[in-house]
Structure 1
Amino acid sequence: MTWEAGVLVRRGGAWVRGCAAVLAVVCAVLAAPPAVAAAAEEDEAAGIIVVGVPGLAWTDLDASVTPNMWAMAGAGASASMSVRTIGSWTCPEAGWLSLGAGERAGGAAPRDAQCAAQSRLPAPVEDGEGWSVQDWQALVDANESFNYGARLGSLADAVAAMAAEQEAAALEAEHAGEPVVAPDPGACVAGIGDGAALAAADTAGRISFWAPDLGSLGAAMSTCDVVVVDPGVIVGDTADEAPDTGTDYDQLGQDDVGVGSDEPSGALDDGEIEPEAASVRERAAAEADAAVGEVQAALPEDWRLLVAGVADASAPSALHPVLYSGAGVEPGELTSATTGRDGYVQLVDVTATALGAIGADVPATVAGAPIQVLPNGDHSSASAVARGIDETDASQSVIAVSFVFYSVLSALGVLGVAAAVWLLCGSDRFRGLARTVCLAVAAMPVAGVAAGIPHWWRAEEPTLAFWGLIAGGMAVLTVAASLPWTRHGARPVLVIAGTAALLIAVDQVSGATWPLHTPMGYTAQAGARFTGLGNYAFSIFAAAVILLVAFLPWKGRARVWGPVAIGVCAVVIVGAPNLGRDMGGTLTLVAAGILCCWKLWGRRLTVKAVILAGGIAFAVFAIGGFLDYLRPQEDQTHLGRFVGSVLDGTAANILIRKADAAIGTIGRPLTWLSLAALIGAVVIWRRRAPIRTDEVGAAVIGLTAVAVLGAVVNDSGIAVTGFTTALGFGLLAVAVGPRTERAQPATPDPVAAAPTSGN
């Protein structure tokens, strides 16, 4: 037993108290409120009009073509919006339904590449008592299979609930003899246009007020405080001019990982969809702008107007503009609690914003949060549009290189596994080359994170610029780990793992912007994670932390408290609401870190130790999540919202959706890297059995825990295993090093050594 293990045995009580203190500190930090920019305080408005324009893009806003929206972009506040719902792009039917549900919803019509089927929306029918959406039950049935728990009609029901509360309060005041506040007579949602009917309908498919065109806008505002407008324009919809309208979306090379997956989609095949004529698009944008101008002319001073591109016109998806103006809205940027990033919102936030504008409560069925305004005195139409175009270009460029990046990483990773096997089990020949390959492969995902620092998507050839950064980063790290003073022992591991951990830690502290614009993160239009730590970057960070804990040259008591300190800092970076916000990563890293330290301290890995590690990890997860849940709903991260879903019984949908997504990753490029790692590990184990020190054992156990547990609890599934392998497998082989057999002294020949008698 080592000295450190002896200390732990003799001072078991102190160790338990220390762990309890560490657990308390971690939970307290995880419960700290997220840091957000100061938002302007907004009073309630008398009403709000939401104008939805499917297909509207930032490039459509122009001072001459769309003067009304151009002026609105400067006079009010703006942001880029992800319309991600069910699948990798959102057609109009799904967009309007999601607006009414406040949750990701899908349409009942087939979703094709040009959104042709989901663009033909029938008008509601009038039955003498009002209006109702045709085939509403078919829409409800379709969404029951998507595992998002979308409650169609939540917007209208929430406004009706506010009216019911006001009536109850008035009756109670009347009975108590107190002054009676009359209920708001306009507590309802009106719809103008066929698409708006889907958003304005209640859970039964009924609409309080509906009209086919803007001629009835005045009557709609007199009737209801929330008015949803569909001008009947889809920007980019070329109807009969659109090529290949029968192509199914799965044939585009951009299949979803799985229903409801948060994974970025795969490769784009730009050849499937021909670019549309500018004149056709301009005519549609100008028509939508004319409708916005008509609404602005009728807008009372105490009302607000929100214009949004509520859906895609066709595949592929893109970010869409949101323009917000009216009573109490200052010029600046928009943000929301669901994105946590300035200048970005989601489609489901529009639902919550409409409710918040008139003072209605946001129900638990609405996944979005009210949009907040971040005032900026330098805000202008030109700057808002330029930023929106740049953000859209960044997202599109990342998607264009992502599938190739994952494929190349997987292919090189398989080569790296083979090199690691040769380094540990092969002959002396080519061992230097094998070592270099191991280092270069481990450097690739680290270079992928660093590639987000320069704005490569602004280059004339973004793809070439990206791959130049990847190649350059790999070369620099490989050389840095091969210098005379860094190439020996575990030093190459510390160089590359240390660089990976430092890059990601600095990125999280500075605002989490680098992986957002590389395949190592999620593009904003994917609507998965606008800030914090994505699953891919987490895999690299966790593997790097495990390697640092295992191979740093700890001395004396530092061997105990050094790994604990690194582990606590790493867990805070991964799980804190104002940093990583990664609940699955928190659970994984706590368990993997404990098991790694357990072995590093000379303790045997038993079933009891595994259960203890899992219990502590779950405790950190549960306590941090519950404390997050206790905060106001608009301040909660997805960890707190998940706890809320557990308490209200809707967590099953989330778990099923994530399981579907994780299973859907099997068969994708990183699957083959994970399979190669498994085969390589078996070969190395059978031919060499390299675990001969506690340090190596700690690294093996920690990396295995990250690869396996991370794949189970994250919806990225096998991709977590693949990225962990890409960084950790080759570096671990380099740290172990080739086996050198010691020369055994020659055994003396007993006959030759016997003394001879002289005669």
Structure 2
Amino acid sequence: MLRRLTPVLLTLAVVVLGVTALAARPDDGTPRRSADFVVLVGAAGLRWDDVDPQNTPTLWKMAEQGAIGSLSVRSAHRPTCPVDGWLTLGAGNFAAWNGSRPGGGCPASGVTVEEPDGIGANLPDQPGVVAYNQDKLAWGATPGALAESVRCSVAVGPGAAVAAARPFGRVDRYEAKLPDDPAELLGSCVLSIVDVGTVDDDDPRVRAAQARQADERLARVLAARPPRSLVLVAGVSDTDTPARLHVAVADGPGWNGGWLSSPSTARSGYLQLVDLAPTALAALGRPMPERLFLGRPAVTVDDRPDDLRTAIEAPADADREAAAQRRVAGWFFTLLAAAQMALAVAVLPLLRRARRLAGPHSPAPVSPRVVAMVELLLIAAALAVPAALLADAVPWWRGHHAGWWFASVTALLIVGGTAAVRFTPGHDRTLGPLGAVAGLATLVVGVDVLTGSRLQLNGVVGYSALEGGRYAGLGTVGLGVFIAGSLLCGGWLAQRVRRGWRPAVLVAVGGAAVVVVGSPYLGADSIGAIALTAGLSVAAAICTGGWLTVSRLAWATMAGLAVTIGFALVDLDRPAAERGSLGRFLAALGDGTGGLTVHRSSTSNFQTLVNSPLTVLALAGAALVWLALLQPWGGLMRLFGIYPAIRAAMAGTGVAAGLGGVLGGSALDVAGAAGALVVPMAALAALRVLDHSTDRTVPDGGRGGGEGGAAPPRGSGPGDTGPSGGSGAPDRASRAPTAGATAAHGPEGVTVESRGSRDHLADRHGGSHDRYGRHGSRPWPLQHGRPGTFSSPGESPPRWVRASPPPASATC
């Protein structure tokens, strides 16, 4: 009965862990009404390194008493041109101005603003821009959604007119330039949008003059601000390439000090441009337009340093790190893909010559030093991504040659990690390096997530705030490494216990990983948690050996679907502003707008598939596994036969990485990151299994030497564990029947040592074989070796003991 209930109990455990991790959400601190007026002040291109107490005293003083943050100005096009930034501000969603962009730059023509009555204005191009955003772009933005949410709005300057124009092009009140005394103008409507100029020159002196001019206009706005007003200052767009982080300051009732943040970033000190429109409406106490705003209202976080110069240095340093990350990440992944492909080519001849064939014409074995060197290189390749993540603990981006500093730090960490794995106890065992590498990778990523994912933000193998896709939790590369590391750790631990306990061990380790990935407090990746649950279910179903039968597949599918459905029901029950990605998608399907989400995901998958170096890494790893390791001479099938829990872990990794990448819109990036860890370790373990695949037994009386009495295989010894978790025999020279063992007749005059009530053939890894050559519950056919000897498909021979010489005509 307990055996029958085990799949049910494991399924329930996976479901409970998954739903618990995904359902709990932190309080987002959505602000209530705090102002009677909102003034949005925009300066295209304004960055934190433009702000200082001498050149921009007004902005400096405002930052001292208000809340500050780094603004990501992502729009529907990259780079975000000034007109795109203003349009995104007014839409509350990723928008872009239509028109040609030669060479990826900004449109050459300006915005036409008509003033037919001297009070308001009209943008004749606005209806075409609205149609372009809704029909041609994947975000479905509605330019003018912010202006439509209030009864009256004011615009000062052409950029502000783009943000304040309603969908049909009308601006309620408009001034081309800021008046000397704008008090009456700013107090005429609850929402005012002011364009104070552009900071776009590369010359430091000219740029400082532009920032000073914008600061003087800001001073006039602050002097004339209405009572109980919230003033938001933002660098609304990029003015050069590549993209940068920009200024965000909020000053008003309830916005005194602290960092700016929002539920859309979930990161203290970071805000998106699409968050400004919801913030304005939330401060005014106005309802959000349904399904139009993609951003979320901003909040304040009270952990900012008291000294403003120290506080400003943090977002300025983040901007420098993000800029350096963009330059370094491309060549790092390119070099990693090239190195792993070169290692794959180097491993092929070793795999072909690892199995020592019988007979006088077999090729000479590869030098042990060469094999040891290749093993170290495989370990180093598997540790490259965790080392690159850990390298961001050192401020390498502050040097003049940031790329070289990063390369040096990463190389040192790779060497240190490889040495740690090499000298770890149990390194000589077949699964020793695999377990150590998986444990190190899981530890690095897990500790980073538990401490706030500080290494992944703007990190080379993390995610960039400039991209605007993720600001907290697990990134694409981190998810792939964590999936592979946690499942391999679970498989390695499960392989060391009895067969019946393996699913429980794997579920315990994998369930903890699901919590880390899916919890909004930690990894904040619901799609990744659902994908990991599916991979964990498959791994738990086959970790005891055998095929993925219909019943096992049914239980695995039920567990994955139960987690997905459970989380979907919980997420849909939340208010619309608090839903996660799955809840928002299901709600969009219900109201008929889910096609936009599918279109965005498919577009993102295609672009990532074509442009990402991780695609090459994933395809190269798959080619090595399929064309070499899974071949009869490749050793991976032999490894899977001896260690079914490792087979389960690798299969679950493939399922989870594939689903996580496709559903998350990152194509093969998750699989490429997982493959960077799994494939080198699979090749190393296959080499070691093949190295012992043709070990022979020692005939009776020849244990001290002679024919068949070869030296013990490398790595064999007391304490070496294998499929059953027991300790293997010391070596072949000592494989004699122990005291109390009984002899059972085997084939052709060979007897089998029997221990207790069961006949065992103890191999080097402690695996149990019965008298018919079966390993566990699966038949293991005996293979032809030398005359008078037998060998099994394991790494080392079974314990055959010759009872009497065979007749002269006997052959094996």
Question: Which TM-score tier does this pair reach, normalised by the shorter chain?
Answer: 0.7 to 0.9
Query: Which of 194, 197, 202 is 1:229 aligned to?
Result: 194
Deviation at 1:710, TM superposition (A): 3.1
Change (3 A) 1:656 1:116: closer
1:245 aligned residue: none
Question: How far apart in 1 are the matches of 2:76 and 2:94?
Answer: 6
Letter in 1 for 2:334: S
Residue 196 of structure 1, CA deviation: 1.0
Which amino acid in structure 2 is aligned with residue 398 of structure 1?
Q
Shift of 1:494: 1.2
> How much does 1:554 deviate?
3.4
Paired AA for residue 75 in structure 1 = Q
Q: Which segment is superposed worse, 144-153 or 337-346?
A: 144-153
Is the Cα–Cα contact under 8 Å of residues 48 and 312 in structure 2 kept in the other structure?
A: yes
Matched, 1:82 2:123: no
Q: Structure 2: how far apart are the matches of 1:475 and 1:753?
A: 57
- The structure-2 alpha-carbon separation of the partners of 1:220 and 1:649, relative to structure 1 and needing over 3 Å to count, comes to farther
* Partner residue of 1:480 out of 420, 427, 435: 420
Q: CA deviation at 1:335?
A: 0.8
Bigger shift: residues 11-20 or 393-402: 11-20
- Give the whole-Å Cα distance in 2 for the aligned partners of 1:438 and 1:399: 27
CA distance in 1, matches of 2:663, 2:17: 24
In structure 1, the residue matched to 2:703 is none
Contact 1:586 1:621 in 2 (8 A): no
Q: Which amino acid aligns with 2:384?
A: M
User: Which residue is 1:425 aligned to?
Assistant: 352
Q: d(CA) in 2 for partners of 1:118 and 1:50? A: 26
Greater mean alpha carbon deviation, residues 48-57 or residues 626-635: 626-635
Match of 2:648 among 698, 709, 714: 698
Q: Return the letter of the residue paired with 1:647.
A: G
Shift of 1:752: 9.7
Residue 313 of structure 1 is matched in structure 2 by 239
1:654-669 to 2 correspondences below 5 Å: 654-667=597-610, 668-669=612-613
Aligned to 1:284: 210
Could you say if the C-alpha distance between residues 205 and 645 of structure 1 is closer, same or farther in structure 2, counting changes exceeding 3 Å? same
- 2:431 corresponds in structure 1 to 490
Structure 1 residues 651 and 709, CA gap change in structure 2 (3 angstroms): same
- For 1:26, give the aligned amino acid: G
Contact 1:422–1:431 at 8 Å: present in 2 too? no
Higher radius of gyration, 1 or 2: 2
The structural deviation recorded for 1:413 is 1.7
Whether the aligned pair in 2 keeps the contact of 1:336 and 1:345 (CA below 8 Å) is yes
Specify which of 386, 396, 408 is matched with residue 335 of structure 2. Answer: 408
Partner residue, 1:572: 515
Tell me the alpha carbon deviations over residues 267-326 of structure 1, each in whole angstroms, 9 at most, x when there is no partner.
Answer: xxxxxxxxx211211121111111101101101231111110000012110000101112
Runs of 5+ unmatched residues, structure 2: 355-364, 697-784, 790-804
662, 683, 704: which one pairs with 2:628?
683
What does residue range 427-576 of structure 1 map to in structure 2 within 5 Å?
427=354, 428-429=365-366, 430-483=370-423, 485-487=425-427, 488-552=429-493, 553-556=495-498, 557-576=500-519
List aligned pairs for 1:42-61, cutoff 5 A: 43-61=33-51
Cα distance, 1:587 vs. partner? Answer: 2.3
Whole-Å Cα distance in 2 between the matches of residues 415 and 518 of structure 1? 26
Q: CA RMSD in A?
A: 2.6
> Which residue of 1 is the match for residue 767 of structure 2?
none
Indicate conservation of the 8 Å contact 1:301/1:326, yes or no.
Answer: no
Which amino acid in 2 is paired with 1:703? T
Summarize deviations over 1:215-266 as a string: whole Å, max 9, x none. Answer: 28334333310101112x2101x4xxxxxxxxxxxxxxxxxxxxxxxxxxxx
Matching of residues 731-750 of structure 1 within 5 Å: 731-736=681-686, 737-739=688-690, 740=692, 741-743=694-696, 744-747=785-788
- Please give the alpha-carbon distance, in whole angstroms, between the structure 1 residues aligned to 2:578 and 2:532: 25
376 and 411 in structure 1: CA distance in 2 versus 1, 3 angstrom threshold: closer
Q: Which amino acid aligns with 1:544?
A: G
- Indicate the residue corresponding to 2:796 in structure 1: none
1:19 corresponds to 2:15? no
- Are the structure 2 counterparts of residues 338 and 493 from structure 1 closer, same or farther at C-alpha, using a change threshold of 3 Å? same
Cα drift, residue 388 of structure 1: 1.8
Q: 2:136 aligns with which of 142, 145, 161?
A: 145
Q: Which residue of 2 aligns with 1:583?
A: 526
Alpha-carbon distance between aligned partners in 2 of 1:614 and 1:295, rounded to the nearest angstrom = 60
The residue identity in structure 1 corresponding to 2:641 is: R
Moved more, 212-221 or 331-340: 212-221
Which runs of no fewer than 5 residues in structure 1 stay unpaired?
1-6, 160-186, 239-275, 755-759
Change (3 A) 1:40 1:725: closer
Q: Per-residue deviation at 1:42?
A: 5.9
**Per-residue Cα deviation, 1:316-375 (whole angstroms, up to 9, x for no partner):** 100001011123321121111111111001001101111111111122311111111224
CA shift, 1:561, in A, is 1.5
Q: C-alpha separation between the residues in 2 aligned to 1:373 and 1:675?
A: 44
Matched, 1:218 2:161: no
Q: 2:469, 2:174 → 1: CA distance? A: 34
Aligned length: 678
Change beyond 3 A, Cα 1:610–1:52:
farther
Per-residue Cα deviation, 1:442-462 (whole angstroms, up to 9, x for no partner): 010111221122232234532
CA distance in 2, matches of 1:345, 1:732: 42
Deviation at 1:615, TM superposition (A): 4.5
Cα distance, 1:154–1:226 mapped onto 2, change above 3 Å: same
Q: 2-side partners of 1:569 and 1:326: how far apart?
A: 43
Q: CA deviation at 1:531?
A: 0.3
Retained in 1: the 8 A contact 2:10–2:503? no
Shift of 1:141: 2.7
C-alpha distance in structure 1 between counterparts of 2:5 and 2:617, whole Å: 44
Instruction: Label 1:129 to 1:229 Cα distance change in 2 as closer, same or farther (>3 A).
Output: closer
Q: CA deviation at 1:702?
A: 1.9
Residues 80 and 584 of structure 1: CA distance in aligned 2, closer, same or farther (over 3 Å) = same
Distance 1:633 1:333, change over 3 A: farther
Provide Cα deviations, 1:707-746, integer angstroms capped at 9, x if missing partner.
4333322221122222121110011222332413133343
Q: 2:17·2:514 contact (CA, 8 Å) conserved in 1?
A: no
- Whether contact under 8 Å (2:35, 2:228) holds in the other structure is yes
Further displaced range: 21-30 or 727-736: 21-30
Give the 3 Å change call, closer, same or farther, for CA 618–158 of structure 1 in structure 2.
farther
Query: Greater CA deviation, 445-454 or 690-699?
Result: 690-699
TM-score by length of structure 2 reads 0.79
- Cα distance in 1 between the residues matched to 2:121 and 2:226: 26
CA change 1:679–1:312 in 2 (3 A) is same
Shift of 1:13: 3.5
**CA shift in 2, pair 1:726/1:375, >3 Å:** closer
User: Percent identity of the aligned residues?
Assistant: 30
Cα distance in 1 between the residues matched to 2:806 and 2:276: 96
Q: CA deviation at 1:25?
A: 3.8
Kindly tell me: are residues 282 and 379 of structure 1, through their superposed partners in 2, closer, same or farther at Cα, counting changes over 3 Å? Answer: same
Greater helix fraction, Structure 1 or Structure 2:
1
Q: 2:183·2:225 contact (CA, 8 Å) conserved in 1?
A: no
TM-score, length of structure 1 as denominator length: 0.84
Please state how far the C-alpha of 1:420 moved relative to its aligned partner.
4.4
User: Aligned pair in 2 of structure 1 residues 483, 408: CA closer, same or farther (>3 Å)?
Assistant: same
User: Residue 713 of structure 1 is aligned with which of 657, 663, 680?
Assistant: 663
**Aligned letter for 1:223?**
S
C-alpha spacing 1:715/1:704, structure 2 compared with 1 (3 Å)? same
Residues 1:295 and 2:221 aligned together:
yes
Of 357-366 and 307-316, the range deviating more from structure 2: 357-366
Please show how residues 747-758 of structure 1 align to structure 2 within 5 Å.
747=788, 753=808
Higher relative contact order (CA 8 A, sep 6+): 1
Compare 588-597 and 636-645 and name the one that shifted more. Answer: 636-645
Residue of structure 2 in register with 1:155 after alignment = 146
Which residue is 2:675 aligned to?
A: 725
Give me the whole-angstrom Cα distance separating, in 2, the residues matched to 1:666 and 1:14: 40
- Closer/same/farther in 2, CA of residues 606 and 114 from structure 1, 3 Å limit: closer
Contact 1:99–1:350 under 8 Å retained in 2: yes
Structure 2: which amino acid aligns with 1:559?
Answer: R
